[in-house]
Structure 1
Amino acid sequence: MTLAAATEQDNGLALTINHVSHQFWLENESLPVLQQVSLEVKPGEFVALLGPSGCGKSTLLRLVAGLDLPTEGEIFEDNIPLTAPDPSRVVVFQDPTLYPWRTVRDNVALGLQAQGKRDASASQRIDSVLERVGLTQFANAWPRQLSGGMAQRAALARALVNKPRLLILDEPLGKLDSLTRIRMQRELVSLWQEQRFTTLMVTHDVEEALLMANRVVVFSARPAKILEIIHVDVPFPRRRNDPQLIALRTRALAQLGAELNEEPGL
């Protein structure tokens, strides 16, 4: 399914990042982390962010989530200034942050319960998303009984069950083993195609970005600025050995390697 073909079904919000800069203060000295970042994300689009570790990608996600305000510039959702968190924007961080006193099922149900949704329909949604992330048999387990990868899958289920308009993913699959990661890449793409939420994902895996996203935004080292936006005009389902993806992977790695003054060796 192409992005153009799906626009009539899109449930996602439009995101505008307008000349955003951000800095932190450490011991009375400023630490710039973002530099004049501007980006338009269409409703229902899947955008991946690539860049050197620590360049500011996760900071940008926090700004988009409304958890922090930019030092300079503005962020808009559906042409409305974004100034605070909202239930329509759901974040999955690198660490799963499950509540230890709630079972897996109760952790997944948290958002629905907060909205007063406790009926049979809500229960079916929980069952469905647990099945998709492979945790049906662990629905009544406690977080302490889960592996790191299973806990991250539970965190993904907790986000997806709420049918977000903007799904914000901060390296969500990094702790999964290779086979589970491949499966979850496919499931996330499938859910995105079905529900048409807008997705903004940070990943350090170039191949993952190209397999999942409509566009890949390549950032410089800190303070992050956009070096290139790669359009991935390859239909789904995508294959790792697709010549177009291989060419785009080489292009992205060359950009990142040049930024780090290294020759790409993978």
Structure 2
Amino acid sequence: MVSIRPLGLQLAHIDHGYTIGGAFTPVLDEISLTIAPGEFVALLGPSGCGKSTLLRLIAGLETPRSGTILADGISITGPGPDRIVMFQDPTLYPWRTVRGNVALGRDIAGRKDPEAVEAAIELVGLKGFERAWPHQLSGGMAQRAALARALVNDPRLLILDEPLGKLDSLTRLTMQAELLRLWRDRGFTAIMVTHDVEEALLLATRIVVFSPRPARIVGDLTIDLPPHRHRDDPRLLALRRDILVQLGHSADW
């Protein structure tokens, strides 16, 4: 894997929605956001508000109804190898081993590089499981394989759509630490959707809070805390309270 130049994003006046049963349903409303190269940005908001839709637009999987999305000043018109998505489900191909799944993107692009594949597998802690099949992996190991498949392509932007949402609590803690380590070591820009306020506070350098659908930005917080954070840090607890208030849960604090 090579040295990475992280990607910067500029979103301006994004409106988006879907036509369902002949009626238009707005999902995103006037979203404007600038993300600096190398930031780790967490997106928080009510379920179904449009966070994952915004990730799909950034990935180039959909085109906004109006507004512009630029990556280093260039309009995003479709998927690109500099922007890699990691979903909640690992989506490993059952007929490919761990090595085969990690190598998939490079194989399709005709960029076979066994050394890079092996390095990615070792990077996520799966050395020794190269020949394992997906059904032989735990949930956490499967997500590690999916992460290696993303990292082997040297993404400048890693797009994370609740990648830890289905893991048990202890495995999730381990994977949070792994994501943070890889982001710091590799230097890519990261955007993550999560419903876990604490997870966002532990990982992100910045948290963007959205309203219910159609989503508007109602909060944008810089997390000025050291990378290795403790859950009982009074500053983190105060930020958690502020975010819950912005999400409409002041009575639950």
Is the shorter-chain TM-score for this pair beyond 0.5, marking a shared fold?
yes
1:75 aligns with 2:66: no
Q: CA deviation at 1:115?
A: 4.0
Q: Distance in 2 between matches of 1:220 and 1:121?
A: 45
Q: Distance in 1 between matches of 2:216 and 2:154?
A: 31
Q: 35-44 vs 94-103, which deviates more?
A: 94-103
Letter aligned with residue 217 of structure 2: I
Alignment of 1:1-266 (within 5 A): 11-119=5-113, 121-131=115-125, 135-257=126-248, 263-265=251-253
Q: Deviations over 1:112-171 (max 9, x none)?
A: 33344444532442332341xxx3343222223334343223212211222210000000
Aligned-pair RMSD on alpha carbons?
Answer: 1.7
Question: Per the alignment, do residues 123 and 172 of structure 1 end up closer, same or farther by CA in structure 2, a change over 3 Å counting?
Answer: closer
Q: Distance in 1 between matches of 2:154 and 2:87?
A: 17
Q: Distance in 1 between matches of 2:216 and 2:135?
A: 40
Q: CA deviation at 1:240?
A: 1.1
Q: CA deviation at 1:10?
A: 6.9
Q: 68-77 vs 249-258, which deviates more?
A: 249-258
Q: Distance in 1 between matches of 2:52 and 2:114?
A: 36
Q: Deviations over 1:146-204 (max 9, x none)?
A: 34343223212211222210000000111112122111111111111111111110000
Could you state the TM-score of these two structures normalised by the residue count of structure 2? 0.93
Any gaps of 5 or more consecutive residues in structure 1?
Answer: 1-8
Identical residues among aligned pairs (%): 59
Q: Distance in 2 between matches of 1:113 and 1:43?
A: 28
Q: Secondary structure at the match of 1:257?
A: coil
Contact in 1 for aligned 2:124/2:147 (Cα 8 Å):
no
Q: Secondary structure at the match of 1:192?
A: helix
Aligned residue pairs: how many? 251
Q: CA deviation at 1:98?
A: 1.1
Q: Distance in 2 between matches of 1:168 and 1:123?
A: 20
Q: Deviations over 1:22-72 (max 9, x none)?
A: 010101100111000000000111100000000000000000000000011
Contact in 2 for aligned 1:10/1:43 (Cα 8 Å):
no
Q: Distance in 1 between matches of 2:151 and 2:180?
A: 12
Q: Distance in 2 between matches of 1:130 and 1:109?
A: 14
Q: Distance in 1 between matches of 2:114 and 2:151?
A: 17
State the match for 1:6 in structure 2: none
State the match for 1:3 in structure 2: none
Q: Distance in 2 between matches of 1:130 and 1:191?
A: 8
Any gaps of 5 or more consecutive residues in structure 2?
Answer: none
